[in-house]
Chains A and B, each alone.
Chain A
Amino acid sequence: MSGDFYIDNNSFMHRLDARTKMALAFLTVVAILMFEHPVWLMPITCLSLLQLYIAGAFRNLRRIRFILIMMSLSSMILWNFFSNGVTPLWWKFEVESFLFAVNRTLLIVLVISSGMVLISTTRNEELVLGLIKIGLPYRVGFALSTALRLLPTIGSSIITISQAQRSRGLDLHVKNPLERLRRFLPLLVPVFISTIRNTNTFAMALESKGFGARDKRSYYLKMEMKRADYLVLGFALVFVAVSIVLRLKGIGQIPGLTRF
C-alpha cells in the first residue's frame, strides 16, 4: 500500500553516514560474488542478519516476503537445471548443481536484504545528499528523489480511484485479459490526470520555495564521516580483500561444477 520503506528509528545503522551505507551495500555484493560454495557465504549471511537486526528491518522483508519466496523458488529450480555437476543426487540433479542453486538463491536474498538495510535506515534526502557528495549533480539527485516520492502518492490515488469506480459498478475480476485491460481504463485515465495536476502544483510550490535561486545551495542535513563510519568501512574493505584473495586461491568454489 505504501511505497515508503524508511523506518524512523535511531539505531547504529541509522546513524551511519549514507555514503558508508551505500559503500557497505556495494561491498557486500562484491564479497558475495567471490564465492560459489554456500558454506563460504555463511559469514556474510551472519553479518547481513546482524545488520537487519540492528536496523530493525526484518519487518520490511516481511512486507516483500511474497516476492522473496517466489524468487527463491524459481532460483532453486532454474539453477539446478542450468548447471551441472559430477556427483548424482536425485533424478537429474547433482550435488554440485544443488549447492550452486543454494548459493545463487542466497545471493538474491542477500542482495535484496542489503538494499533493504540501506533504504530502511536512510532517508530519501540523505540518500540523495550522499549521491551528491560523491559527485552527482543536485538537480539529478533531486529528480531521483522526487520520482521515489511520487510512488506512494500514486499508490494512494489508485486506491481512491478504484473505490470510486467500484461504487459505480466497475468489477475488475474478469478472466479475459483483453476485457480486463479495457476495464482498467476508468482507473488509468483519472490516475494520469490527477498525477499531472498534482505535479503541476508541486512544480509551482517548488519554484515558490526558491528552488534553483542560487548556484550554491546549503544543506541542513549534516553528512559527516565519524569514527564508526571509518571502522565499519575498514572492516568491510578488509572483508572484501580477504574474499578476493580466497577467490584467487580458488577457495570457496565448487569443484566439478559446470555452469552454462
Chain B
Amino acid sequence: MSDAISAAPQARVVTMEPAVQITDLTYRYRGEKTEALKGISLSLNRGEFLVVMGPSGAGKSTLAAAMNGLIPNFFKGKIAGEVRIFGQKTTETTVARNSETVGIVFQDFEAQLFSTNLELEVTFGMENFGVDRDEMHARMEEVINYVGIAHLKGRAPSTLSGGQKQKLAIASVLAMKPRVVVMDEPTTDLDPISKMGVFEITRRLCEHHDTTLMMIEHETEEALYADKIALMQDGRLIRLGPTREVLRDVDLMRSVGVAPLGIPSFFKRMGEGDLPITVDEGVARFNELSWKVSAPAYQKLTENEAAARAGLGEVLIRCDGLDHTYDTGLKALDAVTCEVRRGDVLAILGQNGSGKTTLAKHFNGLLMPTGGEVLVDGKPTRDQGIFKIGQKIGYVFQNPDHQIFSETVFDEVAFSSRLRKLPEDEIKARVAQALASVGLTGMEKEDPFSLTKSGRQRVAVASVLASKPDVLILDEPTTGLDYSEQRGMMDLVQRLNKAGSTIIFVTHHMWVVAEYARSVIVMKEGRVILQGTPREVFSHGDRLHDAFLRPPHFVDFSNRLGHTFLTPEEMAGCIVRGMEA
C-alpha cells in the first residue's frame, strides 16, 4: 500500500490480484501431539477484509502467526503446505524481512510497545529498514494523524490509555507500509468505544487504501465491517463466506462456539427468513411486519425485576463519599457512594482507567480510602485490615497467572486455607467443594500451568472459593476467554450466586452485563454516573456513550423500538404480531 495512506479517498478497490494465498496449511507445534492447523486453504484478494472467528484452540492465532512466518521460523514445529504473500513464500525469508509486507498487531498492547515516546515507537520499524530520516518523519506524521493520536506526540506509551496504546501499536505497524495487515484480537482488552475507534481505522484502511486485512476477533458485532468471515474450529476451516451470509447462519455460529448476533437470532426465533443483521435493518423489518411489544408482558418483566431487587438481603458493603488519590497525584475515585447488598450480582462498568478496578480493590481492603469511608459489615475497612476482610470477601484477579504458583491444582486451591491453619480434613473438604463448583473435580493432581487460560481462571476462582467468602469479586472474569468459555464462567458465577454468594464483577463485555448482572454501576473518570438494573442503565444509550460504553446491538435495537430488552428470548416472549393486535 505504498502511498496508500496519503492517497485521496476513492471508491472501494477489491481487485482480483491475490494478496494472500494459503494452500493446504498444516502445522504442529513442537512437543504437541495434535496439529494446530489442519489443511487450511484460503485466499484473499488485494483490498479484502477477512475476519477469522472461532473458539480458543481453533488455531486462529497460529494462522495469524503463519502469515509473516513467525510460524515456523519463531515457533518451531512441523509444517506442511504453504503461505504466499503476493507470491512470496513466507518460509523462504526471515520474519523480519517479511514484516515489510505483512504487519502484525498483537492483542497484548503492553508487550508490543517498547519505546520511551510515541514518535520513537512509530519510527522503530522504519529504522530497521533503513528508511531515511526525512521520510521517517513524514510517514510518522502521516500515520499518527491517520489513527488519530497526533495530539499525544511526545507522550510515553506507558502513560496512554488502553485504546490509545492499541492505536499506537497499529500506527507503528502502518508506518512500515505493509500491504497486508494482520491483527490478532486487537480489541480484546478495550472498552466498547475504543473498540469502535480501532474498527473505524481498519474500515478506512480497506475502503480507501487497498490494504488487505485479516483480523481475529471474538466479538461478532465487530465483524460486521468485514467482507468475509472465516469460522475455524479444531484447526479446521469450517466455513468461509461473505459476512452477511455467515452472520445469518445463527445455528452454525452457535455450534462452532461463536456468539451469534442478537438481532438475527431474535428474528430466527420468531420464525422469519432472510434475517436482518444490523440495528437499522432490524427496526425496519419489525415495523414492516407491524409487530408490537405487549405492554402487560413488558410490565411483568420489570415488575419481576423490581421484586427480585427488593428481595435482596442486608447491606454488606457501603462506600460513603469514597475518594482515592494515588501517590502519583492521580485522583482515581471521586466521591463514590454506593452499596452492595447480600445476594446481589453487581457489575461495575467503565472505560479503561475510569476507576473500576480501584473501586473494587477498596471492597476487600487492598486499597484504603484517602477520603470518605468504606464499610464492610458496618465497620470501616481501615479498622479491619485485608487479612480479616479477605476471609469474607474473596478477590479473583484479572490474570490468573498473577496468582498461580503451586505444582498441583490441589495445593493451589488449598493455599488460603493452609495459611489460615485450618485442620487438614477441613481443607480437603473445602478444596473438593471448591473444585466441584468450578467443574474441576478430578484435576487435583494436575499442574495448574498446563491448563488452558479458562482452566487456570477456574483454578483461581476455586482457590478463592475455598476460603468460603460471602462476597466474591471478579476482575474481568471473561476477558481473554472465548464465547462458550465466557458463558461457562458466567454460568458458574450465576450458580454461586444462587447458592448464596454475593457477586461483584468488573467487565467490558456488555452482553455479559445484559444477561447476568442484577445491578450495574457505570463509572467515568472516577465518578459513578449511572446506577440501576441493567435494563435501566442500558436504556440510557447516550449517557453510556459519554462513558465510552454502548449497549449490545440487540439492546440498541429494542431501545429504538421503545422498550429495553436484554436478550432475544426475553423479547420474543413479549411480541404481539400485527394480526393479533
Check if B401 sits within 8 Å of A193, measured CB to CB: yes
Q: Please name all residues of chain A whose beta carbon is closer than 8 Å to the beta carbon of B133 when the two chains form the complex.
A: 218-220, 222
Q: Which of A82-90, A104-112, A205-213, A227-235 contacts B (4 or more CB under 8 A)?
A: A205-213
Check if B99 sits within 8 Å of A220, measured CB to CB: no
Q: Please name all residues of chain A whose beta carbon is closer than 8 Å to the beta carbon of B513 when the two chains form the complex.
A: none
Check if A168 sits within 8 Å of B136, measured CB to CB: no
Check if A166 sits within 8 Å of B366, measured CB to CB: yes
Q: Which residue of B lies closest to A6 (CB)?
A: B116
Q: Please name all residues of chain A whose beta carbon is closer than 8 Å to the beta carbon of B401 when the two chains form the complex.
A: 190, 193-194, 197
Check if A209 sits within 8 Å of B172, measured CB to CB: yes
Measured between C-beta atoms, what is the minimum distance from A18 to chain B in Å? Answer: 13
Contact partner, B99, options A8, A168, A210, Cβ 8 Å: A210
Known: A123-B116, A167-B364, A167-B394. A189 touches B405 (CB 8 A): yes
Q: Please name all residues of chain B whose beta carbon is closer than 8 Å to the beta carbon of A217 when the two chains form the complex.
A: 127-128, 130
Q: Please name all residues of chain A whose beta carbon is closer than 8 Å to the beta carbon of B364 when the two chains form the complex.
A: 167
Check if B106 sits within 8 Å of A201, measured CB to CB: yes
Any A CB within 8 A of the CB of B355? no
Any B CB within 8 A of the CB of A177? no
Check if B419 sits within 8 Å of A170, measured CB to CB: yes
Q: Which residue of A lies closest to B97 (CB)?
A: A213
Contact partner, A169, options B125, B129, B390, Cβ 8 Å: B390
- What is the bound-complex CA distance between A208 and B364, given in angstroms? 42
Any A CB within 8 A of the CB of B33? no
Known: A6-B116, A8-B154. A213 touches B402 (CB 8 A): no
Measured between C-beta atoms, what is the minimum distance from B390 to chain A in Å? Answer: 5
Contact partner, B96, options A189, A198, A211, Cβ 8 Å: A211
- What is the bound-complex CA distance between A163 and B126, given in angstroms? 40
Any A CB within 8 A of the CB of B478? no
- In the complex, chain A residues 5-57 whose Cβ is within 8 Å of any chain B Cβ: 6, 8
- What is the bound-complex CA distance between A4 and B415, given in angstroms? 35
Q: Please name all residues of chain B whose beta carbon is closer than 8 Å to the beta carbon of A4 when the two chains form the complex.
A: 116, 156
Interface size on A, residues (CB 8 A): 53
Q: Which of B77-85, B107-115, B497-505, B529-537 contacts A (4 or more CB under 8 A)?
A: B107-115
Any A CB within 8 A of the CB of B196? no
Q: Please name all residues of chain B whose beta carbon is closer than 8 Å to the beta carbon of A193 when the two chains form the complex.
A: 401, 404, 449
Check if A218 sits within 8 Å of B136, measured CB to CB: yes
Check if B95 sits within 8 Å of A207, measured CB to CB: yes
Q: Please name all residues of chain B whose beta carbon is closer than 8 Å to the beta carbon of A189 when the two chains form the complex.
A: 404-405
Q: Residues 85-115 of chain B: 1 if any A CB is under 8 Å from the residue's CB, otherwise 0?
A: 0000000001111011001101010111011
Known: A160-B402, A213-B94. A169 touches B106 (CB 8 A): no
Check if B111 sits within 8 Å of A198, measured CB to CB: yes
- In the complex, chain A residues 176-217 whose Cβ is within 8 Å of any chain B Cβ: 185-186, 188-190, 193-194, 197-198, 201-214, 216-217
- In the complex, chain A residues 116-169 whose Cβ is within 8 Å of any chain B Cβ: 123-125, 146, 149, 152-153, 157, 160-161, 163-169
Check if B74 sits within 8 Å of A220, measured CB to CB: no
Any A CB within 8 A of the CB of B151? no
Q: Residues 400-419 of chain B: 1 if any A CB is under 8 Å from the residue's CB, otherwise 0?
A: 01111100000000011001
Measured between C-beta atoms, what is the minimum distance from A240 to chain B in Å? Answer: 31
Q: Please name all residues of chain B whose beta carbon is closer than 8 Å to the beta carbon of A214 when the two chains form the complex.
A: 128-130
Any B CB within 8 A of the CB of A221? yes
Contact partner, B114, options A149, A160, A165, Cβ 8 Å: A149
Measured between C-beta atoms, what is the minimum distance from B459 to chain A in Å? Answer: 12
Q: Which residue of B lies closest to A183 (CB)?
A: B419
- What is the bound-complex CA distance between A164 and B405, given in angstroms? 12
- In the complex, chain A residues 215-251 whose Cβ is within 8 Å of any chain B Cβ: 216-222
Q: Residues 371-406 of chain B: 1 if any A CB is under 8 Å from the residue's CB, otherwise 0?
A: 000000000000000110011001101010111110
Q: Please name all residues of chain A whose beta carbon is closer than 8 Å to the beta carbon of B94 when the two chains form the complex.
A: 207, 212-213
- In the complex, chain B residues 436-451 whose Cβ is within 8 Å of any chain A Cβ: 449
- In the complex, chain B residues 453-467 whose Cβ is within 8 Å of any chain A Cβ: 463-464, 467
Check if A218 sits within 8 Å of B126, measured CB to CB: yes
Q: Please name all residues of chain B whose beta carbon is closer than 8 Å to the beta carbon of A221 when the two chains form the complex.
A: 120
- What is the bound-complex CA distance between A211 and B128, given in angstroms? 6
Known: A168-B390, A190-B402, A208-B68. A124 touches B100 (CB 8 A): no
Q: Please name all residues of chain A whose beta carbon is closer than 8 Å to the beta carbon of B100 when the two chains form the complex.
A: 210, 213
Known: A169-B420, A204-B74. A213 touches B99 (CB 8 A): yes
Check if A208 sits within 8 Å of B402, measured CB to CB: no
Check if A212 sits within 8 Å of B156, measured CB to CB: no
Check if B112 sits within 8 Å of A201, measured CB to CB: yes
Known: A166-B366, A193-B449. A220 touches B120 (CB 8 A): yes
Q: Please name all residues of chain B whose beta carbon is closer than 8 Å to the beta carbon of A67 when the two chains form the complex.
A: none
Q: Please name all residues of chain A whose beta carbon is closer than 8 Å to the beta carbon of B467 when the two chains form the complex.
A: 168-169
**Inter-chain contact count A-B, CB under 8 Å?**
170
Q: Please name all residues of chain A whose beta carbon is closer than 8 Å to the beta carbon of B137 when the two chains form the complex.
A: 220
Any A CB within 8 A of the CB of B345? no
Q: Please name all residues of chain A whose beta carbon is closer than 8 Å to the beta carbon of B314 when the two chains form the complex.
A: none
Check if A204 sits within 8 Å of B96, measured CB to CB: no
Check if A8 sits within 8 Å of B390, measured CB to CB: no
Q: Please name all residues of chain A whose beta carbon is closer than 8 Å to the beta carbon of B70 when the two chains form the complex.
A: 204, 207-208
Any A CB within 8 A of the CB of B580? no
Check if A124 sits within 8 Å of B130, measured CB to CB: no
- What is the bound-complex CA distance between A77 and B419, given in angstroms? 44
Check if A169 sits within 8 Å of B416, measured CB to CB: yes
Q: Please name all residues of chain A whose beta carbon is closer than 8 Å to the beta carbon of B387 when the two chains form the complex.
A: 169, 171
Check if B116 sits within 8 Å of A124, measured CB to CB: yes
Measured between C-beta atoms, what is the minimum distance from B270 to chain A in Å? Answer: 45
Contact partner, A209, options B125, B394, B464, Cβ 8 Å: B125
Check if A164 sits within 8 Å of B129, measured CB to CB: no
Q: Which residue of A lies closest to B464 (CB)?
A: A168
Any B CB within 8 A of the CB of A70? no
Known: A207-B74, A210-B125, A220-B127. A198 touches B106 (CB 8 A): no
- In the complex, chain B residues 26-60 whose Cβ is within 8 Å of any chain A Cβ: none
- What is the bound-complex CA distance between A218 and B115, given in angstroms? 16
Any B CB within 8 A of the CB of A73? no
Measured between C-beta atoms, what is the minimum distance from A258 to chain B in Å? Answer: 48
Check if A208 sits within 8 Å of B117, measured CB to CB: no
- In the complex, chain B residues 480-531 whose Cβ is within 8 Å of any chain A Cβ: none
Any B CB within 8 A of the CB of A1? yes
Q: Which residue of B lies closest to A214 (CB)?
A: B130
Check if A161 sits within 8 Å of B391, measured CB to CB: no
Any A CB within 8 A of the CB of B119? yes
Measured between C-beta atoms, what is the minimum distance from A83 to chain B in Å? Answer: 41
Check if B463 sits within 8 Å of A123, measured CB to CB: no
Known: A169-B387, A210-B97, A220-B127. A190 touches B112 (CB 8 A): no
Check if B419 sits within 8 Å of A168, measured CB to CB: yes
- 15 A-B pairs whose Cβ atoms sit less than 8 Å apart in the complex: A1-B327, A4-B156, A123-B116, A123-B120, A152-B158, A160-B399, A168-B403, A207-B95, A208-B103, A208-B173, A210-B99, A219-B133, A220-B119, A220-B120, A220-B136
Question: Which residues of B does A touch, CB under 8 Å?
Answer: 65, 68, 70, 74, 94-97, 99-100, 103-104, 106, 108, 110-112, 114-117, 119-120, 123-133, 136-137, 140, 154, 156, 158, 172-173, 176, 327, 361, 364, 366, 386-387, 390-391, 394-395, 397, 399, 401-405, 415-416, 419-420, 449, 463-464, 467
- A sample of 20 more A-B contacts (CB under 8 A), given A166-B366, A170-B419, is A8-B156, A125-B116, A153-B110, A161-B402, A164-B395, A166-B386, A167-B366, A167-B386, A185-B405, A186-B403, A194-B402, A202-B112, A203-B74, A207-B94, A207-B96, A208-B68, A208-B95, A209-B124, A210-B96, A220-B123
- Sorted nearest first, the 8 A-B pairs with minimum C-beta distance are A189-B405, A205-B112, A201-B111, A213-B96, A220-B123, A210-B128, A164-B403, A209-B125
